[in-house]
Each structure stands twice: as C-alpha cells, then as structure tokens.
Amino acid sequence: MNNLPEKLKKRLLARQASDSLRTLKTYSAQYDFSSNDYLGMGRLQFESKEAFTSAGAGGSRLLTGNHDAYGVFEARLCDFHQQEAALVFNSGYDANLGLIAAVGLRGDLILYDALAHASIRDGIQLAQARAIKFRHNDLEHLEQLLATHMPEDASCYVITESVFSMDGDSPDLEAMVELCGTYKAHLIVDEAHALGVFGTRGVGLVQDLGLQDRLFARVVTFGKALGYHGAAVLGSVEVKSYLVNFARPLIYSTALAPKHVATLELRYQWLAESETSLQAIERLHRNIALLRSCIEKRKLSDYFIPSESAIHTVVIPGNSQVKAIAKQLSELGFGVLPILAPTVPEGSERIRICLHSYNDQESIKLLIDKLAEIIHKDAL
Ligand SMILES: Cc1ncc(COP(=O)(O)O)c(C=O)c1O
C-alpha cells in the first residue's frame, strides 16, 4: 500500500539521501561488542517461584496494577541504592519522560547537558519550564548559565548522565553537586550506563562518590547491565509521592507484569549478594583496562573519546564512511554498530564499542588490531 502523505515521504527520502535510513535488523555476532548487557545478566535465567494471581498487572499502578511484588522490589531498590524511596517505571524512557515533564513547571529553568539522551530531551519538550543546554560536561558553561538565568522565585533543575550513552564519558559529579548546592539547583542524574559497572557491587557512580543524599533524583534502568527491562526513579518520599500524582507514564500506562518485577528483584539480589556478580564486574573492568591499553598501543587514542566506562567510542566522521568501516569489522565477526547522524551530531558519527564481562581478551585485542589496520590505512 502506498499511503504515506507527501511530507512524510519526503522525510524518509531525506534519510535515504543522507545514508541514515533506519531499518529493523536482528543482531547476531560472533563477538558481541554492542549490547548493553555489560555483566552478561541477559544470558542468565532468573525465574520467580511465586505464583501470581495474574500474568499481567491488569492496569496502571494507580488502579489495579500495584501488586505486592512492586513493594518488595522497591524496598530492595531503596536498600541497594541507599535511598529513601524508589518508584518503578516501565522503561528508562518512561522514567525520564515522566520525571522531567512532571517537575519542570512554567517559570522554572532546566539546564541539561548537550549530549543528554533522547528520553531526557523528550521529557524537556513536554515540560513547561524554559530549557537551556550546556556544553557537554562543561561546568564553567553550566555555572555561567546558572549565574545568568537562575529564576528568582522558581526552581532550577540540572540534568546530566553519570555515563553518557554515546560517548561513554562522565561529568565531574562532585563539582556539579557543589555547583548545584551553591545555586540551589536540583540535580537529576541518569545512571543507565553506570549501574552494574561502577561502585561496589555495581551500585552506580553516584553512590561510588557518596553523593546519593545530595541529588534531587537518580534514574536507574534495568535494560542495560541488569539484562532485562524497566527502570526506577530514586529520591525522597516526597519526590515519589509527587511522581505518583503527576508522572503521566506511570499514571496512564499498564504497569509491568508482577512476574517481571519479581524477576527484577532476583536480578538485584544476584547483584547484591552473589559471588558470581563480583567476578563478572571484575572481568568487565579487566576488559575495559585491556581495551584502553590496546587503543594506546595501536596509537588510536586520538580517534577515541576518553572513557573509563564500558562504552568506548571511535569517531569516524560521515555516515557512509562509518558504515563502511563497521561493515568491514562485522564481516570479521565483530558485532560493532555504526552510530549515525542525526542520532549523534553531524561530523561526530562513530562506532560504539560496548564491553562485557563475557568478551574474551583475544577478541578485544583482535578488534583493536583490525580497527588500527583500517584506520591507519585510510588515515582518516
Ligand atoms: C542514558 C539513557 N537513559 C535512558 C535510556 C532509556 O532506557 P530504556 O532503554 O530502559 O528505555 C537509555 C537507553 O538507551 C539511555 O542510554
């Protein structure tokens, strides 16, 4: 059927013309360097033995969907993340959208990192507050904006990620907390790519730095290192109560099935208590250290964005060029994907390498050897 209105057709054609048309493909690779399953938890089976009265939640949590499993899991989250309250959302996208749209009221100011994830930017679009982005991880710019635009009798929210999804780098969170304290701004940190990776037992970067009591809210997501799906906002009891009343993705959407919530509880239990999770985190960090040393040895540092996280990014400008290099690597069995404009700004197209506890060291060395061969040959 040919029924797409002309204006929409044009948008698709423009995507084709810039070699950035998105299509749905299944992913399989001999060596996985792309999934967000940092600890291999997606490969583990966690089956709750509990007999639930209903397969699905049966409604929004505000109606019939608030099963006991939610309370148990949210208590686990509070304990693991040393936070007063936790509120589960269906996804990280929903959590950011719900939180930001609900708190940013008319007259308020939102300052957000220029590379913030789409879910943060979409939440900002829905919020009524004025929003200004600050240069990526640039605290001087953030301070300038705070000094110039801080509203007198309204709130200011500063939003960042503890590990950036596309660059793998981190802001100076301690300095940011200080700055927000000075200006009485409320700091929100998305920990999607820090959970399971940083801190004792993977508690995240905020807790690793002991900053959990100094934020307005944190977002943790369960589709990355937890290998599942869902997310939570962590904050005070007051923040939770506010979100239960005003976060629309929570109020107007069917809740996660109770068996999924019980499974999430088991996944957190594994992270919190098992010996194997400690080993997985250790293996992940060994792989991160190895990748970093291979990059240096192969003289690729200038092409990579500096990162200590599980995400490492080699910038290869131009959609067609980055696609061609990713294709060469994937034909050799390396599961790496090109990240194209407009997902990232034009000129900063890249291959994003995600490391895992289960990557074997030989494949990491081989990947960087091949990448060096291609890059140095083409002298990008
Ligand atoms: C930083 C960040 N926040 C939020 C999300 C959304 O999380 P979810 O996949 O659970 O919707 C992602 C996912 O890509 C992310 O990278």
Q: Name which residue sits closest to atom 8 of ligand 1, judged by CA.
A: 92
Q: How far is the CA of 35 from the centre of ligand 1 (A)?
A: 13
**Which pLDDT band, with edges at 50, 70 and 90, does 49 fall under?**
confident
CB 13 within 8 A of CB 335: no
State the chain's mean pLDDT as an integer: 96
Q: Which CATH number applies to 17-38+275-378?
A: 3.90.1150.10
With tokens 């007198």, the residue in question is 152
Question: Averaged over 153-179, what is the pLDDT?
Answer: 97
Selecting from 3.40.190.10, 3.40.30.10, 3.40.640.10, 1.10.275.10, what CATH number does the domain 68-273 have? 3.40.640.10
Cα gap 177→325, rounded to integer Å? 40
pLDDT score for 329: 96
pLDDT score for 50: 87
Cα gap 359→357, rounded to integer Å? 6
**Distance of alpha carbon 299 from its chain centroid, rounded?**
29
The token duo for 113 is 């990192």
Share of the chain above pLDDT 70, in %: 99
- The pTM is what? 0.96
Name the 3-class secondary structure at 191: coil
Q: Which among 221, 229, 234 is the best mutation to test ligand 1's pocket, defined by most ligand atoms within 8 Å of the CB?
A: 221
Answer whether 17-38+275-378 and 68-273 agree in fold.
Answer: no
Has residue 379 got a pLDDT over 60?
no
The residues facing 305 across adjacent strands are 313
CB 89 within 8 A of CB 244: no
Q: Name which residue sits closest to atom 4 of ligand 1, judged by CA.
A: 92
Cα gap 248→136, rounded to integer Å? 29
Peptide bond into 342 cis (omega under 30): yes
Instruction: Give pLDDT tens digits for 235-247.
Output: 999 999 999 999 9
Give 306's DSSP letter.
P
Question: Averaged over 267-287, what is the pLDDT?
Answer: 98
Give 38's DSSP letter.
T
**Which pLDDT band, with edges at 50, 70 and 90, does 159 fall under?**
very high
The residues facing 157 across adjacent strands are 110, 186
Q: Name which residue sits closest to atom 10 of ligand 1, judged by CA.
A: 92
Q: Which among 115, 117, 169, 197 is the best mutation to test ligand 1's pocket, defined by most ligand atoms within 8 Å of the CB?
A: 117
User: Which of ligand 1's atoms lies nearest the C-alpha of 96?
Assistant: 4
**Distance of alpha carbon 343 from its chain centroid, rounded?**
14
**Which pLDDT band, with edges at 50, 70 and 90, does 27 fall under?**
confident
pLDDT score for 256: 97
**Which pLDDT band, with edges at 50, 70 and 90, does 57 fall under?**
very high
Q: How far is the CA of 147 from the centre of ligand 1 (A)?
A: 30
CB 207 within 8 A of CB 197: no
pLDDT score for 78: 98
pLDDT score for 364: 98
Has residue 222 got a pLDDT over 80?
yes
Has residue 378 got a pLDDT over 70?
no
Q: Which among 119, 189, 260 is the best mutation to test ligand 1's pocket, defined by most ligand atoms within 8 Å of the CB?
A: 119
The residues facing 363 across adjacent strands are none
Residue 302's identity, in one-letter code, is D
User: Nearest 5 degrees, angle CA 285-CA 290-CA 292?
Assistant: 95
Which residue in 149, 148, 159 sits closest to 109, CA to CA?
A: 149
User: Nearest 5 degrees, angle CA 36-CA 38-CA 40?
Assistant: 110
- Sketch the domain layout of the chain as residue ranges: 17-38+275-378, 68-273
Question: Averaged over 323-340, what is the pLDDT?
Answer: 94
Q: Where are the beta strands (DSSP E) in the chain?
A: 31-32, 85-89, 109-113, 130-134, 156-161, 186-190, 217-221, 231-235, 304-305, 311-315, 334-335, 337-339, 350-354
Beta strands 109-113 and 156-161: pairing type? parallel
Residues with Cβ within 6 A of ligand 1?
Answer: 91-93, 96, 117, 119, 161, 165, 190, 192, 221, 223, 231
Beta-carbon neighbour count of residue 30 at 10 Å?
Answer: 10
pLDDT score for 282: 98
Give 185's DSSP letter.
P
pLDDT score for 51: 87
